[in-house]
Structures are given as C-alpha cells and as structure tokens.
C-alpha cells in the first residue's frame, strides 16, 4: 500500500513501548543514569504515571475470553520543554510518546532509537520480550449527524427493525494477523466534540510478544518498523475516502 501523507493528520498521540527481559533489579540510581543521557532533549519536570493495562484474553481456541484490568508498576515520564514529546521508563520497560502535532514517522522513529540507545547504555538489557506501536486518533467531522459507514469500515451496528439512533458507543476488538503472531487491538468510539461537530476515537495498538522466547537487541528497530507498517495499513483499512477528504481539508 502506498504511504499516504495528510495535511491534517488526526493523531492525538503515538506511543512505542518496548519491554525487556528481566535484568538487574530496578534501583533508585537508574532513572538518574538514564536522565543524564536524555536531559538535553527532555529537560521538563519528570512525573510519575500509574499504569493500568486492559487485557482481553484472545488466544486461539479460548472458549471463555475474559476482559481484565491489570495494575502495573508506575512509570517515570521525562517530557521535553513543551511537554509534547516524552520518554517513559520503568522496571524493564521503555516508552516514547509524541503528542499532537505529530511530526511524522521519521522524527518519531529517530526519537525511539535515541531513547533506546540511552536506555541500553544505562540498563544494559539483554533481549526484548515485547514491542507495541500504538496510534490514538481523534477524528472530527463537520455537522451534528452522519452515517458512520460513510466514514469508517468498523462501525457498530444497531439491531434491525428498531427505531433507534446511536448516541454513544465504544467498541474494542482484539485480532491476530494470519501470517505472524502479531496482535491488533482496535478501539473505536464516540468522543466529546465542539458544537456543530462530531468526534470519534480510533485507537490502534499493534503488539508482538516474544515470551518465553526473546528478540535479539539488534533486531529491535526492524521489528518496530514492521509493527508501524501494519498499524498504518490497519488505519487505512478502517477509514473511507470521505474520511481522507476530512484530513486533507484546508
């Protein structure tokens, strides 16, 4: 698929998270060692982020899938001067965040690689166990009503033959690609919007786990590129040409 460039991309936040095989115990000196390597780009005041992960058990042939919320360790976030670019660290985890305005994959990718190299020098990880590439989009449409199927290919459906108008919705689907053990989690829902407009959240999270196996460190960036490619294809597959016109409007 040809790579598309939009005048007004709808990306609210892009995140790349890397989890590493358990290494030396987390200690209070690691954040300062890491910060020394990134402080020129991320001089903002560090802050903590409590992590809560939503999981839908979706392995093949699971008879009773379950939705769970799992509390994880807190992450320490280092923002840049305007707090639109952030790096997060925790025990055996690194994340890189870019908030609107999104400046393109090349810039985001270089930030990921720079943060990874700083983490590697500070922590000396031996292998990668999980990578996630996530894009959270907020799509705003003019008007107070719209046929969702005109804009999206993942619209929820109301029961037929009932006099209903959809007001608020939230859909979450976890799926696995046929060719590789890569998971795509799609969250699609309505969102708050300005007057005389409609807004929708489209959250695409592409992940791959290597547990109990491990991914060699030298293969990290290639795998991130592959997850990004699949996220981009999934995004284009969930929208229509009418939505693309919204992104390219002046």
The answer for residues whose C-beta is within 8 angstroms of residue 89's C-beta and 6 or more apart is 30, 31, 34, 75, 76, 78, 95, 119
- Listed range (19-33, 62-76, 233-247) with the worst mean pLDDT: 62-76
Residue with tokens 């925790």: 90
What is the band of 61 on the pLDDT scale with cuts at 50, 70, 90? Answer: very low
DSSP secondary structure, 197-209, as one string: EEEEEEEEEEEEE
Q: Give alpha helix (H) positions in the chain.
A: 29-38, 105-123, 220-238, 241-247
Average pLDDT over residues 12-17: 98
What is the band of 23 on the pLDDT scale with cuts at 50, 70, 90? Answer: confident
108-117: pLDDT as tens digits: 999 999 999 9
Selected residue with higher pLDDT from 123 and 184: 184
Assign residue 83 a region: left if phi > 0, alpha if psi is -120 to 50, beta otherwise?
A: left
Structural contact between residues 215 and 223, judged by C-beta atoms closer than 8 angstroms: yes
**Over 50: is that where the pLDDT of 227 sits?**
yes
Angle at 75 between CA 70 and CA 77, to 5 degrees: 140
**Over 50: is that where the pLDDT of 105 sits?**
yes
What is the value of pTM for the model shown? 0.88
What is the band of 72 on the pLDDT scale with cuts at 50, 70, 90? Answer: low
* Residue ranges of domains in the chain: 11-247
How much of the chain exceeds pLDDT 90, in percent?
A: 68
């Amino acid at each position: 698929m040809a790579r598309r460039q939009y005048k007004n991309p709808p990306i609210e936040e892009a995140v790349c998270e890397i989890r590493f095989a358990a290494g030396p115990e987390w200690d209070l000196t690691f954040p300062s060692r890491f910060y020394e390597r990134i402080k020129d780009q991320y001089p903002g005041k560090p802050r903590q982020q409590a992590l809560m992960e939503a999981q839908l058990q979706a392995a093949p042939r699971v008879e009773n899938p379950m939705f769970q919320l799992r509390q994880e360790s807190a992450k320490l976030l280092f923002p840049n001067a305007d707090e639109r670019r952030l790096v997060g660290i925790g025990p055996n985890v690194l994340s890189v965040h870019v908030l609107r305005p999104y400046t393109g994959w090349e810039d985001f990718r270089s930030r990921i690689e720079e943060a990874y190299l700083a983490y590697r020098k500070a922590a000396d990880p031996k292998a990668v166990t999980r990578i996630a590439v996530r894009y959270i989009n907020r799509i705003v449409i003019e008007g107070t009503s719209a046929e969702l199927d005109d804009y999206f290919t993942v619209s929820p459906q109301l029961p037929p033959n009932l006099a209903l108008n959809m007001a608020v919705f939230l859909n979450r689907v976890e799926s696995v690609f046929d060719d590789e053990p890569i998971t795509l989690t799609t969250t699609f829902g309505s969102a708050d919007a300005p007057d005389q407009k409609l807004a929708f959240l489209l959250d695409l999270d592409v992940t791959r786990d290597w547990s109990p196996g491990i991914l060699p460190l030298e293969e990290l960036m290639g795998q991130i590129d592959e997850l990004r490619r699949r996220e981009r294809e999934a995004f284009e597959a969930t929208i229509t040409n009418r939505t693309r016109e919204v992104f390219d409007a002046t």
